[in-house]
Structure 1
Amino acid sequence: MSLLKNTKRRLSFQRVGPSTLHCCVPLCTFSSRYNRLISFHSFPKLGNPLRELWLVNIRRDFTPTAGTRVCSRHFLPWDLVQKSPKSLRRLKTGSVPKLFHWNNYSLHSAATDHERDRDHDYCVTHGTENREAQPRGVLQGGEPVLQSQADWGLLGSGVGLERYACSDDHVHHYTRFTSYQHFQHFWRLIEPAVKTYMTSSDACAAAGSDSSLHTTKLPFIDELLLFLMHLSVGFPPEDLAVRFGLDAPAVSRVISTWGHFLSQLLGGTCLWLSGELVMTLLPPEFEAFSDTQVVLDCVEIYCQRPSATLGHTEQFSTYKALVGMAPHGAVTFVSPLFAGILSDCEVFRQSGITSVLQPHMAVMVVRGLLIEDVSRCRVHRPVCLPEHTQNQSKQSVEQIQAMVRLRNHVERCLRRITDYKLFDRTAPAPVCGSIQELFHVACYLLNYQSTPLAHP
């Protein structure tokens, strides 16, 4: 029996040719020396943006040479073309490696890339590795290749969600959802409403469209990705137009349409939670403040004012809003944006939150939100760690440390809003007309991007 096993082992690794090509992808051990069925493909030319995407996808930071190869096992079946059984297999233009050990050599679905203008690679099998290498070009003027293909995606080929399906880090960076699966779950929740809204006669009439709001070549889910990239990373329409293969006016229409739609859809859900549910979900940090119903803070947004005289006088450069979060991190209150210079106390008074607060509840505030004189509820304010704690008793030190941990927890929750790059800098003038809708959508999405919002 052991002899039979040894014979099979020798046959399975029998040398089939003099070629010594190896796949450069991590965790891949395929070699042309012992395999006739696998083909090996060289990298795109230097200066081709596709080259950087290959490096990002295979997760290697190195400089490919003329002899560096990626085996055909990492490409989708329809990426490979062979005119006859004896001819070389080659890659279709625009093909990139997508199947790896870390995604079990499979994807949920494979998006077909737009064809590029020039071929970039030819297959090399055993016995043909001495073929003259393709010339390596450089960008005109000596400019370097894009520094971060992970940020730029594939220019000119249409960025889509499936391009980032293998990397939860990329999905989180561009959308603020924790993973690709989490994003897909949110999409399944809103997909029926998306299709209904985009074809409704009222919405189309408001947008000036005859039959449908879907006027781009992108699928709805990729339009959502475009909108989230604008919101989360702050990419301007001109940048997104290059990434998605659209023109800038079309990108602006997508952003406006999705901002209005998500504002209506997510804003129609009741955010305010009952005191009993807040108590049930209370984190350990709030044990000493168990009557806390909501944590409040004022958020400031700065907008670029238009250069035109009329627009300059009608549009403000500073806006404030009051945002409330439950102790466990769910957004439970978002006020309208108040333009101009208003004190935090006045924003609290005009926000409308006093209509839902009851006298037996307590609110927690941080920083300079001085509302003790206008609030009918108890106000908690976590303190900072004192400079001198050497003479404090053990019980006093533990209480101070608990307050500091509580303050850190509160600030982490509130910092999630400013993680949106569109709002942690001066917003460009073109989006200021819809800044309130965009801000509200950003706040509503926080309840879906990490921990789902708890409902009674």
Structure 2
Amino acid sequence: MTGKQKKVSFQQRTDSRSNHHCCVPFCTASTRFNSYLSFHTFPKDSELQKQWVVKIRRDNFIVTSTSRVCSRHFIAADLLEPLTPAGRRRLRPGAFPVLFQWNNYTIPTPRPGVWERAERPPNTDLTEMQTDNEDDDPLPCHEHDYCVSNEPAALDLSLNENEELREEISRLRKQIEDLTVNSKFCLERFSASDDDIRFFTRFASHAHLMGFWNQIEPATHNIIRVTRARTVEKTDQVPHSASATVLQPIDEFFLFMNYLSLGLMQKDLAHRFRIHRSTVSRIINTWANFLYTVLGAVSIWLDVDTVKTHLPDVFQDYADTQIILDCTELRCQTPNSLLLQSEVFSNYKSHCTFKGLIGIAPHGAVTFVSSLYQGAISDKEILKQSGIVALLDPSMAIMVDKCFLVEDCVPCKVHIPTFLSKRAQLSRSEIRTSQSIARLRVHVDRVIRRVKEHEIFSTVIPLSITGSINQIFTVACLLVNYQNGPLVKAWANNG
């Protein structure tokens, strides 16, 4: 058959009662509207069937008993005559469709090989030599000594060049590694600068940070990752391995510490770490829950003997002090609901707040953290609901600010500054007592200030993260025990 295109002749079907459609893309032929075409089932041979699927360009196509390819996609030579007794047209064994809309229903012309495409000039010299020597002896074969080695000087020069090239390759590889690290926003990039580590994570140094990481790293293999996918139990959590991100676990932890320490917006973190904003949100929630679980599993409440063992000398006049308590408030976004506004509005801050209770041992370690409550709640009510009363016994004493009127709800002694109680002034001993308690109680304010060095608490907390703010606040308080040294250098030997 000559010509650029090979046409296919279609014959009218004798039986069009069935209703079949061609499964080839862009082909709308069907037995209902076209009785000139025949419709052929896929071959039973698996290899030939796969070849049909490839030819019709149907990825992941599942062949069924009703799948058909019409005769317009086969060349005329593949359509056998005569028809079957039932009036059906048969295909030549091994035939497959080759005519489609994307090749304009023409038979693809095989591409010529390299030697056929390239134009080569005739080798006239070799032709003349062969003609001249047809009747003579064969051309002499020149002898070559393939075992002759190079000169020593040339070998030395080659070795020197190879060594220089190796050194150049090593130097370039080192430059590529440095550029790769410096272009990524990750922990490794700042590992050489303790100032940067302090700025981004609030840990005193890189060694300090890695010491903390080595404690929690084994537990990261069982981390539960917050994700939009739902498990069989219909929860919003799946194992870490099932939803791993492009970041390494240590860099996910570094991202969370950036969020906590600098209060960065999630979009900013997404640009820094080159990931999607929704991924940043899931990483933050995942690590807030993970650290809340891991750090919360460590008992921070100290027994009486341990507290007395580490008691600083300045507490000798109040040696029975077990814990110093104070409340702190975090400003939050004002809710639209007036009822919610009345619950979270703080008269002390004149703003909507979340309120929590923090307690430290006399040597400065955080030993108690309550959940966050609405800002309208009183300090006394927080102490009752926080659960700390159950940890106290008559042999202990607590030290509080003068606003904590809790003598009637704790089973132990309370060290509290003296009130005037409608008197004109305090006595000299009462003034000294109040001043000494104030000097010691101020250390809980210093711990709270360390907690609020995490810049996320210096801004108005949006209501969108209220579901995880309790975990974030607790983690920030517990991290104070790991991020910093003793409150007072003189207490270093005692703490």
2:255 is paired with a residue whose SS is: helix
TM-score when normalising by structure 1? 0.58
- Shift of residue 226 of structure 1? 0.5
2:405 is paired with a residue whose SS is: coil
- Shift of residue 366 of structure 1? 2.6
Pair 1:341 & 2:408 matched: no
1:267 counterpart letter in structure 2: G
Pair 1:283 & 2:317 matched: no
- Shift of residue 399 of structure 1? 7.0
Write out per-residue CA displacement over residues 40-63 of structure 1, whole angstroms, 9 at most, x where no aligned residue. Answer: xxxxxxxxxxxxxxxxxxxxxxxx
Q: 1:340 to 1:199 in 2, by over 3 A?
A: closer
2:456 is paired with a residue whose SS is: coil
Whether contact under 8 Å (1:229, 1:235) holds in the other structure is: yes
2:468 is paired with a residue whose SS is: helix
Indicate the structure whose relative CO is greater, using CA pairs within 8 Å and at least 6 residues apart: 1
Instruction: Work out which of the residue numbers 480, 487, 492 in structure 2 matches 1:446.
Output: 480
Residue 454 of structure 2 corresponds to which residue in structure 1? 420
1:442 counterpart letter in structure 2: A
Residue 182 of structure 1 corresponds to which residue in structure 2? 208
- Shift of residue 191 of structure 1? 0.6
* Residue correspondence of structure 1 range 86-235 to structure 2 within 5 A: 113=180, 157-198=183-224, 205=231, 206-209=235-238, 212=241, 214-235=243-264
- Shift of residue 343 of structure 1? 0.9
Instruction: Work out which of the residue numbers 299, 313, 338 in structure 2 matches 1:270.
Output: 299
1:438 counterpart letter in structure 2: I
Pair 1:437 & 2:471 matched: yes
Q: 1:345 to 1:396 in 2, by over 3 A?
A: closer
Q: 1:355 to 1:425 in 2, by over 3 A?
A: same
- Shift of residue 417 of structure 1? 1.9
Q: Distance in 2 between matches of 1:376 and 1:332?
A: 19
Pair 1:292 & 2:321 matched: yes
1:113 is paired with a residue whose SS is: helix
Whether contact under 8 Å (2:416, 2:437) holds in the other structure is: no
2:379 counterpart letter in structure 1: D
Q: 1:313 to 1:407 in 2, by over 3 A?
A: closer
Instruction: Work out which of the residue numbers 333, 352, 355 in structure 2 matches 1:320.
Output: 355
Q: 1:446 to 1:333 in 2, by over 3 A?
A: same
Q: Distance in 2 between matches of 1:310 and 1:396?
A: 44
Q: Distance in 2 between matches of 1:276 and 1:283?
A: 14
Residue 251 of structure 1 corresponds to which residue in structure 2? 280
- Shift of residue 220 of structure 1? 0.4
- Superposition RMSD in Å: 4.1
Write out per-residue CA displacement over residues 230-250 of structure 1, whole angstroms, 9 at most, x where no aligned residue. Answer: 112211211111111111110
Q: Distance in 2 between matches of 1:261 and 1:187?
A: 13
Unaligned runs of 5+ in 1: 1-81, 96-109, 115-153, 385-391
Unaligned runs of 5+ in 2: 1-162, 345-351, 420-426, 487-492
Whether contact under 8 Å (1:275, 1:293) holds in the other structure is: yes
- Shift of residue 410 of structure 1? 3.5
Residue 388 of structure 1 corresponds to which residue in structure 2? none
Write out per-residue CA displacement over residues 138-172 of structure 1, whole angstroms, 9 at most, x where no aligned residue. Answer: xxxxxxxxxxxxxxxx7xx3311111112212212
- Shift of residue 347 of structure 1? 0.9
Q: 1:382 to 1:310 in 2, by over 3 A?
A: closer
Whether contact under 8 Å (2:225, 2:286) holds in the other structure is: no
Write out per-residue CA displacement over residues 304-335 of structure 1, whole angstroms, 9 at most, x where no aligned residue. Answer: 2467x799789954221111111111111111
2:332 counterpart letter in structure 1: C
Write out per-residue CA displacement over residues 233-282 of structure 1, whole angstroms, 9 at most, x where no aligned residue. Answer: 21121111111111111000000000111111111121211011001111
Whether contact under 8 Å (1:326, 1:332) holds in the other structure is: yes
- Shift of residue 294 of structure 1? 0.5
Instruction: Work out which of the residue numbers 415, 418, 423 in structure 2 matches 1:380.
Output: 415
Residue 303 of structure 1 corresponds to which residue in structure 2? 332
Q: Distance in 2 between matches of 1:359 and 1:305?
A: 42
Whether contact under 8 Å (1:337, 1:436) holds in the other structure is: yes
2:481 counterpart letter in structure 1: N
1:436 is paired with a residue whose SS is: helix
Write out per-residue CA displacement over residues 17-42 of structure 1, whole angstroms, 9 at most, x where no aligned residue. Answer: xxxxxxxxxxxxxxxxxxxxxxxxxx
Write out per-residue CA displacement over residues 322-377 of structure 1, whole angstroms, 9 at most, x where no aligned residue. Answer: 11111111111111222251111111111111101112211011363332333232
1:360 is paired with a residue whose SS is: coil
- Shift of residue 414 of structure 1? 3.1
TM-score when normalising by structure 2? 0.54
- Which range moved further: 337-346 or 270-279? 337-346
Q: Larger Cα Rg: Structure 1 or Structure 2? A: 2
1:184 counterpart letter in structure 2: M
Whether contact under 8 Å (2:417, 2:433) holds in the other structure is: no
Q: Distance in 2 between matches of 1:259 and 1:161?
A: 18
Whether contact under 8 Å (2:402, 2:418) holds in the other structure is: no
1:182 counterpart letter in structure 2: H
1:443 counterpart letter in structure 2: C
- Shift of residue 441 of structure 1? 1.1
Q: Distance in 1 between matches of 2:316 and 2:452?
A: 27
Q: Distance in 2 between matches of 1:289 and 1:210?
A: 49
Q: 1:444 to 1:86 in 2, by over 3 A?
A: closer
Q: 1:419 to 1:370 in 2, by over 3 A?
A: farther
Q: Distance in 2 between matches of 1:294 and 1:360?
A: 12
Write out per-residue CA displacement over residues 371-397 of structure 1, whole angstroms, 9 at most, x where no aligned residue. Answer: 23332321113589xxxxxxx99x999
Q: 1:341 to 1:190 in 2, by over 3 A?
A: same
Q: Distance in 2 between matches of 1:346 and 1:310?
A: 22
2:263 counterpart letter in structure 1: G
- Shift of residue 177 of structure 1? 1.2
* Residue correspondence of structure 1 range 4-23 to structure 2 within 5 A: none
Whether contact under 8 Å (1:174, 1:228) holds in the other structure is: yes
Q: Distance in 2 between matches of 1:245 and 1:226?
A: 11
Aligned residues: 308
